[in-house]
Amino acid sequence: MKCIIHRRAQFSASHRYWLPELNEADNITRFGPCSRAPGHGHNYVLYVSLEGELDEYGMVQNLSDVKSAIKRYVTQDLDYAYLNEVWPEFQQTLPTTENLARVIWQRLAPHLPLVKIQLFEHPELWAEYTGTPMETALTISTHFSAAHRLALDTLPYDQNLEIYGKCARPHGHGHNYHLEVTIVGSMDERTGMIVDLSEFQRVVDDLIVEPFDHTFLNKDIAHFAKVVPTAENIALYIAQTLQQPLSELGVELDRVKLIESPNNSAEILCRSAPNPSATRSDTVLAAV
């Protein structure tokens, strides 16, 4: 039986999005503030996931060896570095979050049994790479505040209470929802991007965050006049709403995760549910 282990590491580095074959105006148009000289920095958080059989010592890999490999092949070069110049790979393709995750995989793969590299540029933006040559996943995290009531109009109040508990109370209740939207796409060999990040953010903001924020979902979002706005149904609606606009940006919606509270979240696995009328079997629920 195989086991997956995860090792965390950190490094601080700067980078700049700038293509010398473009003039200044075109670089600014394409990359916005990220094109500013001499660059900008991040506190990166890296998770290295390894898979293998347990050995006689109860380990997939000796963690001291894993730590040493990450330091030797990744962090000792990247920590407090200017990424555009630190590795030759970034002369050909810009050090975006997506590309950085891919190159870290390439650097570590000869030494560790990798299954995933996850790289956080900051808490609301991260990339995942699993070894497919130029395919990467990119996630943005955002939030909105909204109220809802869980009840079926066809049922009497006492029966709704039996099904939904306190969530069926007539005046509803509210949450600070956290939303994670993950896309998958092919990386551009020159820019290192799978999508224009500002366009990705705009689609999520315009179609979900702005319409949902500070609303009573049952009354202000037409879809939920007839559909009970459970976390599962909200996440499913978000996925259905985003699929086509994100496809038009040239990427595929991979998953939507809606965190209703620290104890309750729902996740729609979109690539396993190509039909927009996805069923509950496509929803992963997490509750404590």
Q: What is the CATH number of the domain that holds 29?
A: 3.30.479.10
User: How many other CB atoms sit within 10 Å of the CB of residue 272?
Assistant: 12
Q: What is the token pair recorded at 170?
A: 């007539």
pLDDT at residue 272 in the model: 53
- Final residue before a domain boundary, out of 107, 131, 155: 131
- Give yes or no for residue 285 having a pLDDT over 70: no
195 pLDDT above the threshold of 70? yes
- Fill in the DSSP letter of residue 71: I
Averaged pLDDT score across all residues of the chain? 94
Nearest residue to 122 (alpha-carbon basis) of 7, 193, 43, 199: 43
Q: Do 26 and 6 fall within a single domain? A: yes
% pLDDT > 70, the chain: 94
Q: Is 260 a catalytic residue?
A: yes
Residue 56 annotated as catalytic: no
Query: Does 155 share its domain with 117?
Result: no
Is residue 191 over pLDDT 70?
yes
Q: Are residues 109 and 196 in the same domain?
A: no
- Is 248 assigned a catalytic role? no
Is there a single domain that holds both residue 158 and residue 217? Answer: yes
Structural domains in the chain (count): 2
Please state the rounded mean pLDDT for residues 72-88: 98
92 has a pLDDT exceeding 90? yes
Catalytic, out of 51, 124, 135, 167: 167
Q: Are strands 40-53 and 81-82 parallel, antiparallel or unpaired?
A: unpaired
The pLDDT value recorded for residue 284 is 55
Domain boundary among 131, 150, 185: 131
Residue 288: its pLDDT value, please? 33
Q: Let me know whether 109 and 184 are in one domain.
A: no
pTM value surpassing 0.75: yes
Give the active site residue among 34, 260, 267, 270: 260
Residues of the domain holding 170:
133-288
Q: Are residues 247 and 211 in the same domain?
A: yes
Q: Which of 214, 252, 267, 270 is catalytic?
A: 214
Q: Which two tokens stand for residue 195?
A: 């999508």
**How crowded is residue 187: how many other Cβ atoms within 10 Å of its Cβ?**
23
- The model's pLDDT over 16-39, given as tens digits with 9 standing for 90+, comes to 999 999 999 999 999 999 999 999
38 contacts 83 by C-beta, under 8 angstroms: no
pLDDT band for position 271 (50/70/90)? confident
Mean pLDDT of 100-112: 98
249 compared with 286, residue with greater pLDDT = 249
Rounded distance, CA 114 to CA 208, Å?
Answer: 35
The Cα–Cα gap between 71 and 192 comes to: 24
Last residue of a domain, one of 83, 110, 131: 131
**What is d(CA 154, CA 34) in angstroms, rounded to the nearest whole number?**
53
